[in-house]
Chain A
């Protein structure tokens, strides 16, 4: 009988041991942001790329702005969990130090849940009136899935408090965004009425779109004022139809390049143009590269949030800065000039986008990408073995680079190979972008994260 009792007791102990193995102690204290995976944030950016393609009114400036606010929302939702990190409130233009909600003192939060709520809410707000029901459901499903995955090990009050904090961040940022000049600009991307300047040097339509995109975008509020005031390129070469002039030479360079393009150069032009019909814009391509890089280094939530916020700030300001020079000089596109003064049968490799030439938006935005990637993923030399696979899904090959400056230079040159930009557009655009990238990396106090 004692033997039976002993066996029963031993079994009871074993059962208790195993059942305690299956139980977990609910986490009741805030953990550092760096302990969470950043995978879900990368999934949101993939989704945002897809939504950008499918939502009307999201041209490059509008898309860059939306990517930016989502990145800032992610950062602000997790910044309390990064040791020594500073909020962007008080650091960026127009956002005062107390403009954003703060977590309650002595209360536990899950920063992953907070970021999930902040990002989903900001995405809904950025696409808002033009967001399709299908894409709204995708955001909602992703948010719910992430919440269910993350909330299981946390007491309900912690999870709910984290959601409330994330949504409060999103709402405060949305209020801030409403005053930046780009609010719901997807409803009126052409900002009509706009009177086209007239003159032989001036932009004229190059396709069925009779009006240039967002002619007043330069009036939008940048995140750093110096990104506009200190980054403007010099005036373009003086317009001239004289075959001996520097301007004519710029056009002739385009003409000669396009008529002698190699197969590789045509491929490069098309690869960076992304797609003739559907694209999540050049900024979206650069965000796709960021997403790939973050995956390759298995980035934590902290690193992902910092990365998307940095790139977002820089991309947003890149398009504002670039749009300043585009509409200040209102320069005629190469195709229009060449048709009139060199060869009326000239055909570009890719379509010319509907806005003035100088400087190049692609070059400007990839310039900021180069600087942000170099700072985040290298020791400062820019060396990185990058295989850009972002075009595979659209039938492009993989492009390899060993340095981020090679990547940005190829992107800038692609507009020359494509016949849609003069060489000076790309050189100056790239320079502007690099300055903006440096500003965002250096003038804002970012935390050091792994």
Chain B
């Protein structure tokens, strides 16, 4: 009754197909003399290619999937990505509250930027205002710390705090804002309901 023909075929592209020509700053891919390269060239021209072709034939499947779900990122698994993407340092040349900030910019910031290459650092004046460190995070939020009258060392501490921050809102007061641990997996025990298990006596 079952007639299933399954052919699995994986055509692996060999590395020799491409040679990289790096010239000035642009890179061209040049096809070498290789039979598969003709396939690639066509695919490059037409915006489609196929290294992996998985062929199976069958008549009809009763299995279907509900819409396109996507694989979710797991915290702590895979590559680490620093959540702070940009730090802005604002200073004032005139005001006394920026004295520590100005010293920080000249003495400590270059080393800080070198040690944290994943953070984009920008320095800009903000005349007549207190000095501020503003951090932009991957989740789209931003945080700002006023560093008026602080010493360079204290400002470095604030910069390190900002660098290590996740950008999440700090909300320890309300129940909804508290850091709640959420699992990707469904509960083993299920959700409690009053109709099952031991009888509930009023």
B is a partner of A: no
Report B's interface with A, CB cutoff 8 A: none
